[in-house]
């Protein structure tokens, strides 16, 4: 069913972001948190790009790269990864909109325990109840409770979505999704070639790079 949305405009480092919530279900904390989530995503991507380089990559960053992209970094793949990160960051630095709604509502038939990153089930791209495609086109989608209660996961999800939206990445079911604790992929089987196209590989690579640099994430 089509819902009515109301939008609140926020700014993150000067970037205008329209935060859309279902009329009657809006939460005042959501736009405030979106400012922090969007600003963190920009700064994580920027910091990650500075560390993703062909020479003298730090051991912790190299380990994050191997974990997420399933191969030892070399010049060709580093350039491919950098290109996706840049395209994503540039997309997030221009005005865009974000649809924030309750995950159970938005992804009724997509069982999700960490809200918002699961888009592709058995090769079928999921649509939300408004009929909007969750990935690649239209707004970036985020889950209300994640935005309210789990800022690190919200930033990871936002980056995941942004790589779809701006850099045309894919999902590969359980083989492509990281466990929510970030330790590993949910199922084995992703190839190194697929990993360089996999949305969650980028989201978790950026997150793991921040952990490698700072021991924690700053939001």
Q: Does residue 119 bind Zn ion (CB under 5 A)? A: yes
Q: Based on CB atoms, which residue is closest to Zn ion, 29 or 168?
A: 168
CB of 171 to Zn ion, least distance (A): 4
CB of 82 to Zn ion, least distance (A): 21
Q: Does residue 103 bind Zn ion (CB under 5 A)? A: no
Q: Does residue 10 bind Zn ion (CB under 5 A)? A: no
Alpha-carbon gap, residue 166 to 198, rounded angstroms: 13
The kind and range of the H/E element at 97 are strand 96-101
The single residue listed with the structure tokens 């580093």 is 78
Interface stretch with Zn ion, choices 22-30, 79-87, 129-137, 201-209 (CB under 5 A)? 129-137
CB of 72 to Zn ion, least distance (A): 26
CB proximity list for 42: less than 8 A, separation 6 or greater: 12, 13, 15, 89, 92, 93
Q: Based on CB atoms, which residue is closest to Zn ion, 37 or 213?
A: 37
CB of 125 to Zn ion, least distance (A): 9
Q: Contact at 8 Å (CB) between 93 and 162?
A: no
Near Zn ion in 157-216, by CB under 5 A: 171, 199
Q: Does residue 155 bind Zn ion (CB under 5 A)? A: no
Which residue is closest to Zn ion by CB?
119
Scored b (16 or more CB within 10 A) or e, 51-84 reads bbeeeebeeebeebbebbbbeebeeebbeebeeb
Residues in touch with Zn ion (CB under 5 A): 119, 135, 171, 199
């Amino acid at each position: 069913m089509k819902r009515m949305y109301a939008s609140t405009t926020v700014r993150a480092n000067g970037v205008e972001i329209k935060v859309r919530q279902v009329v009657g279900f809006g939460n005042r904390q959501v736009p405030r948190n979106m400012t922090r989530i969007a600003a963190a995503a920009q700064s994580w991507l920027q910091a990650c790009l500075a560390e993703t380089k062909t020479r003298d990559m730090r051991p912790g960053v190299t380990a994050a790269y191997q974990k997420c992209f399933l191969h030892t970094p070399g010049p060709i793949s580093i350039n491919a990864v950098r290109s996706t990160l840049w395209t994503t960051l540039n997309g997030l630095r221009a005005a865009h909109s974000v649809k924030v709604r309750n995950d159970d509502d938005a992804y009724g038939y997509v069982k999700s325990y960490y809200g918002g990153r699961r888009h592709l089930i058995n090769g079928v791209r999921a649509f939300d109840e408004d009929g909007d495609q969750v990935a690649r086109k239209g707004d970036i989608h985020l889950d209300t409770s994640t935005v309210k209660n789990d800022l690190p996961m919200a930033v990871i999800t936002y980056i995941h979505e942004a790589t779809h939206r701006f850099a045309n990445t894919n999902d590969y079911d359980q083989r492509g999704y990281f466990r929510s604790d970030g330790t590993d992929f949910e199922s084995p089987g992703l190839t190194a070639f697929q990993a360089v196209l996999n949305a969650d590989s980028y989201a978790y690579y950026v997150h793991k790079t921040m952990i490698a640099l700072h021991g924690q994430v700053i939001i």
